[in-house]
Structure 1
Amino acid sequence: MRYAFTTLAYPDLKLPEVIERVKRFGFDAVELRVADDGIHLKPSYPIEKSVKEIIGDIKVSDLAGYARFSSPDDLEREKNIKLAETLILMAHDLGTSGVRVYAGQFKDSPEDAIKRVRNSLNGLAEFAEKNNVVLMIETHDEMAKLDFLLKLIKGLDERIGLVYDPANMIFSGEKHEDVFPKIYTRVKHVHIKDFVVKDGKRLFVRPGRGVVPIKEIVKDLIKVGYQGYISVEWEKMWNRDIEDADVVLPLYLEYLKRCEE
């Protein structure tokens, strides 16, 4: 199994400091968050030479972008399609084959929103393939609900994959053992994090201390011959009070490797 962590874990560090930790901790790759805030990388093509020099020989598991396609506003949706195209070109330039995207929140009927998401992704599939990149929609927001996810997949171009985030789906009321058998053929990338629920909110914790069945997830991935990365998504960016990533990421890597045994 191959392991990465997302730069979401280091909101206060510059890219060189994050990249250095990939080798230091023993991860196989880094998942690069690409956002307008430019904390680590902005969605801009061509990529600056200095960025490529910083990354060096470190493998990039995928680009975690923020393109969303559920909006009923045609101009907003077109803007996000252009963003996705930029992310695809960036991924190709960096030698990574995956780009994470979102469906987005539903502002009108789920049926209409899902149709817009599906049509947008299907329209991007050929462009992605030409650049040797797979667009991967994350089980996030509305797509953390199995019913909506299955409705999206029905009629979705086979070249579009999934980022499976079990923690998101569990928090939305789903169970890994119900979800995974229905979607595993689409899964190209996996986010792992553990959490407990406190006052109706997620509190992210060390692996094995929460409600996410990480060991079973790893075993199931091995069983189906999963070839992608498992990426530790320590959401320090949005939860500043959780433990420092320098402490937690090595613990996750050690725990995940033990789960393979």
Structure 2
Amino acid sequence: MRTITRRSALKTTLASLTTALMTPAFGISAAAPRFSFSTLGCPKWPLATILKTAVDGSYQGVEFRGLMGELDLTKSPDFSTAERAADARNRFASQGVRICNLGASTQLHHADPTKRAKHLDEARRFIDLARQLDCPFVRVFPDQLPPDQDRAKTLDLISQGLLELGGYAKERAVTVLLESHGELTKSDWLLKIMTAAEHPNVGLIWDVFNMWVDAHETPVAVYQQLNRFIRHVHIKDARIEGAAHHYVAVGQGVAPLREAIGALRAGGYQGFYSFEWEKLWHPDIADPEQVIPQYPKAMKAYF
């Protein structure tokens, strides 16, 4: 990972000014922001703890990326039958908390027919579960640009996968979301993919930090390119130390969250701002009990 340079810092500063200048032209959405958190940040919490934390923290939603160590949510005991899925749905709904997204591990870049079929099958199972949970979204990955595969072909494979899943999801009142992730965090590549896959049941998750730190694009530039596809937003913060970054609680790092949120508000974004604390992948970072409850409070400073 490259170090953030003075030039990129200047771009970020200029982007802040651009966002401020954009605001009067588009107007700020008056709707209260909606906050959710991903279970990626609390991989050892049972369903009851997840729900209690959401309620106590005044969250409006929870995004499931695994549960109690099981990443394939369709195999989780809490969701493994229609009756259990209905019980979970009703428990969350009764507390005013939406199950707002299911994070699959599906990768759409594969050309190998066997691998491709396996990943698409997983996505369909997640879409079926989302319908049972009254969950609007299922997340999938682009995810790589294989060096032995033509780039244009890879982008087309991802678009075709999205269209295929979008058709399946439409019949189940679910929308498939591609996350800016892995080797595909540049807005021009994502724009090509999403334009080719334009469908009412296909959208994009904007991971603000990924696109800023990997592709070195300002949030305003990203939003201007991709805003019509954005349905969900992932939020995290980090400190940059040399060529590496270290995740910290929101508001304690250098991620350009104010510019990103400013652009989203100016454009009338109404979706969730979902806290993605990567505890499962980085067990050395702070425990979820320390950071998940404080996220809504920290985020309100940006509104």
Aligned equivalent of 2:51, options 12, 16, 19? 19
Counterpart in the other structure of 1:259: 302
Counterpart in the other structure of 1:247: 290
Residue by residue over 1:110-165, the C-alpha shift from the partner in whole angstroms, topping out at 9 and shown as x without a partner, is 21111111111112212111111110000001221223212212311232100000
Counterpart in the other structure of 2:183: 142
Aligned equivalent of 2:269, options 226, 239, 247? 226
Deviation at 1:251, TM superposition (A): 2.4
Counterpart in the other structure of 1:53: 87
Counterpart in the other structure of 2:134: 95
Aligned equivalent of 1:170, options 189, 196, 212? 212
Q: Gapped runs of 5+ residues in structure 2?
A: 1-32
Give me the whole-angstrom Cα distance separating, in 2, the residues matched to 1:212 and 1:251. 17
Counterpart in the other structure of 2:105: 66
Give me the whole-angstrom Cα distance separating, in 1, the residues matched to 2:256 and 2:222. 13
| Count of residue correspondences | 260
Moved over 6 A (4+): none
**What do you get for the CA RMSD once the two structures are aligned?**
2.1
Give me the whole-angstrom Cα distance separating, in 2, the residues matched to 1:43 and 1:151. 34
Counterpart in the other structure of 2:224: 181
Q: Evaluate the alpha carbon distance shift between residue 169 and residue 43 of structure 1 in structure 2; reply closer, same or farther with a 3 A threshold.
A: farther
- Paired letter, 1:234: W
Counterpart contact for 1:43–1:83, Cα < 8 Å: no
Give me the whole-angstrom Cα distance separating, in 1, the residues matched to 2:112 and 2:72. 29
Counterpart in the other structure of 1:116: 157
Deviation at 1:48, TM superposition (A): 4.9
Counterpart in the other structure of 2:11: none
Counterpart contact for 2:74–2:80, Cα < 8 Å: no
Give me the whole-angstrom Cα distance separating, in 2, the residues matched to 1:125 and 1:103. 14
Q: Gapped runs of 5+ residues in structure 1?
A: none
Give me the whole-angstrom Cα distance separating, in 2, the residues matched to 1:235 and 1:12. 13
Deviation at 1:178, TM superposition (A): 1.3
Aligned equivalent of 2:243, options 180, 195, 200? 200
Residue by residue over 1:33-91, the C-alpha shift from the partner in whole angstroms, topping out at 9 and shown as x without a partner, is 14895168345786453354345123101111111110121111111111111111111
Give me the whole-angstrom Cα distance separating, in 1, the residues matched to 2:83 and 2:56. 24
Percentage identity across paired residues of the two chains: 28
Counterpart in the other structure of 2:16: none
SS in 2 for 1:154: helix
Counterpart contact for 1:3–1:28, Cα < 8 Å: yes
| 1:9 paired to 2:52 | no
| Range with greater deviation from structure 2 (44-53 or 64-73) | 44-53
Aligned equivalent of 1:127, options 168, 171, 184? 168
- Paired letter, 1:38: E
Larger radius of gyration, structure 1 or 2? Answer: 2
Q: Evaluate the alpha carbon distance shift between residue 76 and residue 36 of structure 1 in structure 2; reply closer, same or farther with a 3 A threshold.
A: farther
TM-score by length of 2: 0.80
Structure with more relative contact order (C-alpha pairs < 8 Å, separation 6 or more): 2
SS in 1 for 2:121: helix
Deviation at 1:97, TM superposition (A): 0.8
